[in-house]
Amino acid sequence: MRILFMGTPEFAAISLNALVEAGHEICGVFTQPDKPKNRGMKIFCSPVKEYSITHKIPVFQPVKLRDGSALRLIEQLNPDLIVVAAYGRILPDDILAVPPLGCVNVHSSLLPKYRGAAPIHWAILNGETETGVTIMHMAAELDAGDIIAAVSTPIHPDETAETLHDRLAQLGAELLIQTVDDISAGRAARKVQDHTKATLAPMLSRELSPMDWSRSATELHNQVRGLVPWPAAAASFGNTRCKIFASHVSEERTGEAPGTILAADHNGITVACGGGTVLVIDELQPDGGKRMNAADYTRGHPILPGKR
């Protein structure tokens, strides 16, 4: 099948690779414009662009999608189908109408739950025990199109957004190949979403980082693993702010006030949380420092039990 692919991050590159390996003709790739990153503000291109260049696939990086130029380009490319995966742009109606077999999107949640930019993170932040990937027909409203196929998977209790991302990327790629085959054969299902059950997964921000120790240890553990790698949960020990990258919920119970340091030793940093629960911080990164085990941090930065 002749496919125009639209995507930007690694999640999308895995789906693109699956299409290439399945033998589909990728007539072009749309991806986000190159952007400066890190302290040196060096210009980086997206994983999808890197993959496309390596495989000699034409790459297009339109700044605008509504001025008519992208539409004319897509009409010239003449795709049978447009496949979108984490592109980061909303397609206007005139573009959606171009391919005869439509436009489909690979979305990393079980729709209608977690529509939006960060479904993997919000599923973990909210303590979900199951998620998945949905492939849907695209519509004008964000992630609201008819469902073609979906696959579910459990979220493991200590799984982070990074590891779940990698699993869902692979599941999505496998489901995409099956779905494209079904579309080509004219047997693809079409199920209207129950919009009354829709929930949102908005973009992440640093405002989500501070840890509120009045919350339970389980909720804080979900915060830690749901905000990896960015913006990361954050807590202060004395005058030092630290990003928290790994934790676990202790079976211990305590009567100490939330935020009280119970221990800081070779086992990590143990902190009292809401409802008498206890969280152990396993890995952190102090501002201006490197990411390390919490036990290593305590050797160079003594933390006294009883402090808050």
- Given a contact cutoff of 8 angstroms between Cβ atoms, the answer to whether 176 and 184 are in contact is no
Strand (E) or helix (H) holding 124: helix 119-125
Interstrand relation of 2-7 and 81-85 (parallel, antiparallel or unpaired):
parallel
Question: What CA–CA distance (Å, rounded) separates 273 from 213?
Answer: 5
Provide the total of helices (H) and of strands (E) in the chain, helices listed first.
Answer: 8, 15
- The mean pLDDT values, 10 residues at a time, for the chain of 308 residues are 97 98 98 80 87 97 94 98 95 96 98 97 98 96 96 97 98 98 95 97 97 98 97 94 98 97 96 98 96 94 89
- Note the pLDDT of residue 149: 98
Report how far residue 55's alpha carbon sits from residue 304's, in angstroms, rounded to the nearest whole number: 56
Identify residue 256 by its one-letter amino acid code: E
In the DSSP assignment, the letter for residue 213 is T
Q: What is the pTM of this model?
A: 0.94
> What is the layout of strands, in order, in the sheet containing 2-7?
59-60, 25-30, 2-7, 81-85, 103-107, 130-137, 147-154
- C-alpha to C-alpha distances, 9 to 15, 84, 121, 183, 185, nearest whole angstrom: 10, 12, 15, 25, 29
- Ordered structural domains, the chain, with CATH: 2-197 (3.40.50.170), 206-300 (3.10.25.10)
By three-state DSSP, how is residue 246 classified?
Answer: strand
Length of the chain: 308
CA angle 302, 277, 305 (to 5 degrees): 20
pLDDT of residue 302: 86
Among 271, 209, 221, smallest CA distance to 247 is for 221
State the pLDDT at residue 61.
Answer: 96
The pLDDT of residue 23 is 97
Which residue type, as a one-letter code, is found at position 24?
H
Q: What share of the chain is helix, strand, coil (3-state, %, to 5)?
A: 30, 30, 40
pLDDT for res 40: 60
Cα dist. 166→11, 158, 275 in Å? 7, 15, 34
